[in-house]
């Protein structure tokens, strides 16, 4: 299988090449993937972000893996089915936000991996547990907060494994 393109969607208050995305992009590039990060700065509306992601990914030749953090997780989830993504990897995704539960996108029928911090005070980990239980996603609950910056090594481990599994590049030891 051709190595996938990995497209990152950042959270509401961050930018396209923050610390986590830089580290994740470096890890997937080391696997031979193309890594891109969409700039949503100045776009508060999640629907507009989804539209931008879909527009940016139109016509890709490689298989597509979407990665998103917080609101970027919501955006990546909403765009996954229309883009025929082969995988979805999200960090502390903005699912089931109080008063906006109806906006939580349905789970696409693809492999999904969720990482959420037990100490997240922005989006409760229970929201990811609820989502994962509905669609049987892989869920990793880690000792981290919403930003998950202290968990970057774990994130890289899980992301690398996820990409390798989806690309058929199963290397022993991972």
The percentage of the chain sitting over the pLDDT mark of 70, rounded to a whole number, equals 96
Q: Give yes or no for residue 95 having a pLDDT over 60.
A: yes
Q: With H, G, I as helix, E, B as strand and everything else as coil, classify residue 102.
A: helix
DSSP annotation of 29 reads H
Q: 112, 137 in Cβ contact below 8 A?
A: yes
Q: 163, 139 in Cβ contact below 8 A?
A: no
pLDDT of residue 169: 66
Write the pLDDT tens digit of every residue in 39-94. Answer: 999 999 999 999 999 999 999 999 999 999 999 999 999 999 999 999 999 999 99
Confidence of residue 98 (pLDDT cuts 50, 70, 90): confident
Instruction: Spell out the residues 6+ positions from residue 94 whose beta carbon is closer than 8 angstroms to its own.
Output: 11, 46, 70, 71, 73, 74, 123
Q: CA 132 → CA 26, 88, 167, distances in Å? A: 27, 12, 22
Helix (H) or strand (E) holding 88: strand 87-91
Write the pLDDT tens digit of every residue in 122-168. Answer: 999 999 999 999 999 999 999 999 999 999 999 999 999 999 999 98
Q: Give yes or no for residue 172 having a pLDDT over 80.
A: no
pLDDT of residue 1: 63
**Terminal Cα distance for the chain, rounded:** 19
Match domain 5-167 to its CATH number in 1.10.1740.10, 3.40.50.1820, 1.10.3210.10, 1.10.540.10. Answer: 3.40.50.1820
pLDDT of residue 2: 83
- Environment class of 131 (CB within 10 Å of its CB; exposed 0-12, middle 13-18, buried 19+): buried
What's the chain's average pLDDT? Answer: 94
pLDDT of residue 168: 85
Q: Give yes or no for residue 100 having a pLDDT over 90.
A: no
Question: What is the rounded CA–CA span in Å between residue 88 and residue 81?
Answer: 10
Domain limits of the chain?
A: 5-167
Q: With H, G, I as helix, E, B as strand and everything else as coil, classify residue 56.
A: helix
Q: At what angle do helices 46-57 and 71-80 cross, to 10 degrees?
A: 50
């Amino acid at each position: 299988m051709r190595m996938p393109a990995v497209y990152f969607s950042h959270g509401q208050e961050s930018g396209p090449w923050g610390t986590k995305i830089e580290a994740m992009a470096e890890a997937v590039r080391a696997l031979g993937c193309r890594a891109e990060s969409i700039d949503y700065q100045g776009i508060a509306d999640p629907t507009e972000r989804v539209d931008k992601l879909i527009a940016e990914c139109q016509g890709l030749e490689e298989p597509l893996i979407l990665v998103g953090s917080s609101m970027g997780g919501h955006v990546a989830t909403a765009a996954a089915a229309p883009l025929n993504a082969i995988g979805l990897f999200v960090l502390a995704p903005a699912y089931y936000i109080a008063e906006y539960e109806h906006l939580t996108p349905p789970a696409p029928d693809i492999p999904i991996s969720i990482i959420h911090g037990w100490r997240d005070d922005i989006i409760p980990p229970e929201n990811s547990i609820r989502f994962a239980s509905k669609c049987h996603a892989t869920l990793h609950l880690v000792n981290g907060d919403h930003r998950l910056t202290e968990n970057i090594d774990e994130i890289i481990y899980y992301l690398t494994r996820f990409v390798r599994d989806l690309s058929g590049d199963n290397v022993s030891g991972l």
